[in-house]
Amino acid sequence: MDTDIRKRLGRRVAVVQVFLILCVGLLVAKSFEVQIFEADDLSQKAQQAYAKRLTIQGDRGQILDRNLNKLGTSIDAPNITADPKQVPKASVTAEKLSKILNVPKNELTKKLSKDSRYVMLAQRVSPDQASAVRALNLKGIYLKDDSKRFYPNRGLAAQVIGFTGNEDRGLEGLEYKYNAVLEGSRVQMEVTRDGNGRILDIDKDKREELRGNTLVLTIDKKIQFLSERTLADTVKAHKAKSGMALVMRPSTGELLAVAHYPEFNPNNYGGFSRDKFRNRAVTDAFEPGSIMKIFTVAAAIETGIAPKSIFFCENGKYRIGGYTIHDTHPEGWLTLSKIVQFSSNIGAAKITETIGKKALHQYLAAFGFGQKTRVGSPGESSGTLLPSRKWSKIDTGAISFGQGISTTGVQLISAISAIANDGRLMQPMLIKKILSNTGRELERFDPVIVRQVVSPKTATLVKDMMHQVVQEEGTGTQAAMDGYTVCGKTSTAQKTEAGKKGYARGKYIAAFGGFAPLKDPKLAILVVVDEPRPNHYGGVVAAPAFKTIMSKSFNYLSIPPEKTNAMIAALTKEDNQ
């Protein structure tokens, strides 16, 4: 019996030994297979478990004014993410975050309760929000580097600059037009994660390396600011619908300011109506009114009409076909200069009858009316200048004093600047240069002469006439400045009836355009006010705003007063005392 037991035990031990040997053999074989044959494959799988490929988007390039002041930039705005499996109590965490992120607690609780290792709680939060979340040190809550567009001057030049959307793509203005220039580059890169799924070695400087190019504008931040402030005061004081003010360097075509009112804040564009977004100085065409008389007179002189020629202005009423043209102040015989100074509609119509409609059309087109200026802002309108063959007699007369033709603000300031610039029309400029993200100059935009519209002699004669407008008896006396010879022209244009033929009763556009000083114009300014009331005359509404912008800009630019006759007389008197 004992022998049988021993034999059975021996067999069992042998079986166990064989089983153990087989197990060890299998383990050795598997270990050999893993270490020798599957090492590379398993290593790759391990790397995949702890590594992740991410798309890194570079920050958007900056928009700067001519003096390199920031107008549009990007600031750190982290995304708040979570690993729900690490969050101990979803409802408690959600309650703490809800107050900071301004997201309903229920919404956050739902996200934090998901069977997932990653959820997005809030995108591109403010620096204050990010700091507050970081201070809580909540388990499972992470801040992922990101940025968002920021406009440090709020509404300053907002219609020109525009804004970006949630994906940091330009939606309006220069942000939209130059999106390809400003947009940062994208790369895919592999980053390492720890056991909790947190990214370990992402290069935080990578976004900066991939940052887009920078736009340097011709806009001057200070002149833009004082133009906007003056325009806002003017529109409010005259209970107007809206307004715009443009400041240009006549010799280069550079726009130093393009101001609008009402304004909007591009940092919170969703809180404003879409009609406030567009750059109306480029997109909206309007009938310019009596400012057009300076171009009519320029055309007359170029076609051989002597500056001292006189035209009978019919004592304030002149019939053309079935229509009657009126002047605000009845006049008899007037020279070209007086027609401009007194702003006689009848005088302008008489001039056009003399030179013919083809000549008038030729010179208006040469000044740039009816054509896009290619200023570089999206949505530009060409205005309206019909072919002269389509002009009736009344059309011809009306166009000579700015009705029956439409123009944009940038067209009009460019044409005014051509008179100031000895008859040379410059292409208007908004972009000065483009810089790389390291500050290297990639492209420079130099002033471009479009054409010589009228001779320097003709331009000088018209400038002298425009100077008379701001003198005693002229319509623009409120634009006159002590120490400077100001040249300008008033305009009071009746508005067309929207969607109908004819003009709207009691609705006007008041404007004043001009430049200073006469002999060497430094700045040209156009102020346009839409539907002022009760007073709607350009000389009363727009001329004072012109003066304010010009005088403050001259002070800022340190442009010294001229030695006018009055100043010379005063200095001589002092020397003799």
Q: What per-residue confidence (pLDDT) applies to 193?
A: 55
CATH fold, domain 53-76+149-217, is Penicillin-binding protein 2a (Domain 2) (3.90.1310)
Per-residue model confidence as pLDDT tens digits over 89-139: 899 999 999 999 999 999 999 999 998 888 999 988 888 899 999 999 999
Contact indicator for 146, 109 with CB cutoff of 8 Å: no
Residues 177-220 have pLDDT tens digits of 999 999 988 776 665 555 555 554 455 566 677 889 999 999 99
* pLDDT over threshold 50, residue 571: no
C-alpha closest to that of 86 among 210, 198, 171, 228: 198
Instruction: State pLDDT tens for residues 374-415.
Output: 999 999 999 999 999 999 999 999 999 999 999 999 999 999
Distances (CA, A) of 258 to 120, 318, 334, 352: 40, 38, 36, 33
**Residue among 489, 553, 540, 525 nearest 234 (CA):** 540
pLDDT > 50? residue 575: no
Q: Would you please indicate which residues are annotated as catalytic (active-site) residues?
A: 290
Kindly report the average pLDDT of the chain as a whole number: 89
State both tokens at 311: 């035209």
* pLDDT confidence bin for 46, thresholds 50/70/90: very low
- Fold matches, 78-145 and 221-263+281-436+444-570: no
Cα 67 from Cα 241, distance rounded (Å): 33
| Fold of domain 221-263+281-436+444-570 | Beta-lactamase (3.40.710)
CA distance to 14, 15, 17, 21, 329, per residue, from 7 (Å): 10, 12, 15, 21, 140
Residue linked to tokens 């006396």:
477
**577/570 Cα distance (integer angstroms):** 11
* pTM score: 0.85
The predicted structure's pLDDT at residue 157: 97
Beta bridge partners of 328: none
Distances, alpha carbon 402 to alpha carbons 34, 292, 298, 355, in Å: 89, 5, 14, 17
363 vs 85: CA distance, rounded Å: 75
Rounded to an integer, what distance in angstroms lies between the CA atom of residue 87 and that of residue 141? Answer: 8
Strands 487-496 and 449-452: unpaired
Please report which confidence band the pLDDT of residue 26 belongs to, taking 50, 70 and 90 as the band edges.
Answer: low
- 293-347: per-residue pLDDT in tens? 999 999 999 999 999 999 999 999 999 988 999 998 899 999 999 999 999 999 9
Q: What is the CATH number of domain 78-145?
A: 3.90.1310.10
What is the domain partition of the chain in residue ranges?
53-76+149-217, 78-145, 221-263+281-436+444-570
Percent of the chain with pLDDT over 70: 84
pLDDT in tens, 447-505: 999 999 999 999 999 999 999 999 999 999 999 999 999 999 999 999 987 767 778 88
Local confidence band at 49 (pLDDT 50, 70, 90 cut-offs): very low
